[in-house]
Structure 1
């Protein structure tokens, strides 16, 4: 849901001053390259990056280590989130996770492009 929305609203994002949308996950670069190809992001403002060692994820406090997630996936993941940054300064952070839904799967709307656009 997130990637197609950001792709569809590139013009609106650009009109609000957004130059780049960075998508990263706790995956290796081969997985991220394949996902980028599948989502047809080439030539768009979206770039995909892997954080296979979770260095960025840990550094920004987004590591998902809830036991329910670890039981299902086997290793720490990244919380579903969106960050608005301007000139390397974080302006807003939206995290979909909640106590009863640590992965943020049940209510991911806070990370969707429409919510981000409201805050630009």
Structure 2
């Protein structure tokens, strides 16, 4: 659907650990751009409705984290998890999930998600504006393959999950690699 689309240029406001800062919160603000994350790399980007939510925390994020070596073997340089949550929330979620491989990207204002056409209202759950669930393979800032859950709409009664799963994305990579080799 969005294959061939260049990712929007936005600035993400992140908090990064800084060992020079003492105390219980050794983090500083660091702005990162779309180019900082995606330029010159082939990555998997997946976006989900919210940090700490059941499907995201139980299946999607752990699946990408635990399958990182398999993705690397298929030519993926990095895996990014994005959500319309601020950096404080994303960092705490990454910590609670013991992430070592997947990097989180906070899209706190939803600017990237809106420009991708994936910002939806989830007022029916008290969430406000959030991302529709999707995954993408991105090469040097351009979408190579797109995996969007069905039913994109505001206040959707369900939270579909499957099309953007780590298993689906990895299967695509293996199939594409086999087709090139044949």
Task: Give the alignment's TM-score, normalised by structure 1.
Answer: 0.85
More helix by share: 1
Give per-residue Cα distances to partners, 1:51-79, cap 9 Å, x unaligned: 111100001111012xxx22322511110
CA RMSD of aligned residues (A): 1.9
Q: Does the CA contact (< 8 Å) of 2:132 and 2:152 recur in 1?
A: no
Report how many aligned residue pairs link the two structures: 114
Verify: 1:88 aligned to 2:141, yes or no: yes
Given the superposition, is the C-alpha separation of residues 36 and 70 from structure 1 closer, same or farther in structure 2, using an over 3 Å criterion?
Answer: same
Moved over 4 A (4+): none
Q: Does the CA contact (< 8 Å) of 1:26 and 1:50 recur in 2?
A: yes
Given the superposition, is the C-alpha separation of residues 108 and 84 from structure 1 closer, same or farther in structure 2, using an over 3 Å criterion?
Answer: same
Verify: 1:36 aligned to 2:97, yes or no: no
SS at match of 1:110: coil
Which position in structure 2 is the counterpart of 1:119? 172
More strand by share: 2
Higher RCO structure, 1 or 2 (CA under 8 Å, sep 6+): 2
The structure number with the bigger radius of gyration is: 2
Given the superposition, is the C-alpha separation of residues 99 and 33 from structure 1 closer, same or farther in structure 2, using an over 3 Å criterion?
Answer: closer
Q: 1:99 Cα shift?
A: 6.0
Gaps of 5+ in 2: 1-58, 174-182
Gaps of 5+ in 1: none
Given the superposition, is the C-alpha separation of residues 12 and 49 from structure 1 closer, same or farther in structure 2, using an over 3 Å criterion?
Answer: same
Q: 1:104 Cα shift?
A: 5.6
